[in-house]
A = this chain, B = another copy of it.
Amino acid sequence: MKLYEFQGKALFKEAGIPVPRGVIVTSSDSSGLFAPSVVKAQVLSGGRGKAGGVALVSTIEEAREAADSILAMELKGEPVKALLVEEKADIIREFYLAVTFDGEAGTPLFMASAEGGMDIEAVAEKTPEKILKLPADPLWGVTDYKIRALADFLGIEDKRAFADLVRKVWKLFREKDAVLVEINPLVLTGSGLVALDSKIEIDDNARPRLKALFDEKLAEQAAITGAVPEEDSGTITYVPLEGDVGLISDGAGTGMLSLDLIRDMGGEAADFCEMGGLTSPEVMYAAMDRVFSDKPRIKSLLVVLIGGFNRMDEMAEGITSYVRDHKVSIPLVVRLCGTMEEEGKVIMKEAGLPVYDDLLTAVADAVRHSGEGR
């Protein structure tokens, strides 16, 4: 779950990390607007500053104008529905500070740079030496010597205030099951260090143990976007694409392989839908529903199954009950093998549905059918 800036800042405030005074407004009529101030689009994507989603205003009229104009924007496909209006900070220096984890090393990771406020990915690409990456032990966390190393790298003089802030960021990272806590920029002002922005992402896997947090933040997001809070989507990953061959797999690796093979054979996938390695008839059913609901005009559906932990009888049950419940008029190309393969094939056969053994043949047929359907 990615949090909006204002949501992240609420967590910062709760954790004792200094943030500017600010209010959330959803229209230019709001009595909350004030000036001078900074008016900032609340979106989940990055790069809003460059796209005009942030305005510095000196008068209340300017604030209204800025609010009107930003609320009319769409940033990276995301319509702006709310603004954070904050006091300006008297910035002396800007830093970048984040804690996340390095999946390949398997450790938490601090990242810091004196090039704060900038596009940090550009810094990482062009001048990687300007970013300090400091691995941390998950339990020991930020020891004093690591804080000294960060402070020395950033050239921060008030080490005590910085140490306090870093410890609070770490505590937030651990206690809120964050996969990312980023402050860009962290600014030094006349009155100390202040988090001028916030980017926080909470681990969806932790939803069961952080139910109250998820409920609250998702409700806030829904109130802004008008969308219903997302249900826990289980293990299904769904990515809509541009083609007309529907695709469902029970593994990301075989899903991507199928995607490659569809293209190699001259077709184009309509989606990438992956169910995870341990699924059930209900998940299979839900996956088909997802694809058909989002892409009603696909020309064929390729289902690539190779069962390890998941059972082919269950997959066949999911497919056949979906076909029973819905009128599926396009060709269904199901490659099914692995655990309980025989049982699955019997179920498919009883439902009058063909089954493939070979992946290449299945992909070729799915692509062919999509061509025929055009």
Contact = CB atoms under 8 A, between A and B. Distances in A.
Interface of A: 139-140
Q: Assembly of this chain: how many copies?
A: 2
2 contacts: A139-B139, A139-B140
A140 B139 CA distance: 8
A139 B174 CA distance: 14
Nearest to A138: B139
A209 to B, nearest CB: 13
Nearest to A140: B139
Contacts of A140: 139
A224 to B, nearest CB: 38
A95 B199 CA distance: 49
Contacts of A139: 139-140
Nearest to A137: B139
A42 to B, nearest CB: 38
A227 B140 CA distance: 41
A100 to B, nearest CB: 21
A361 to B, nearest CB: 50
A139 B140 CA distance: 8
A232 to B, nearest CB: 24
Nearest to A139: B139
A139 B139 CA distance: 7
Nearest to A141: B139
A124 to B, nearest CB: 32
**Cβ-closest 2 pairs across A and B:** A139-B139, A139-B140
A139 B138 CA distance: 10
A140 B140 CA distance: 10
A171 to B, nearest CB: 15
A59 to B, nearest CB: 50
A202 to B, nearest CB: 23
A107 to B, nearest CB: 15
A141 to B, nearest CB: 10
A268 to B, nearest CB: 50
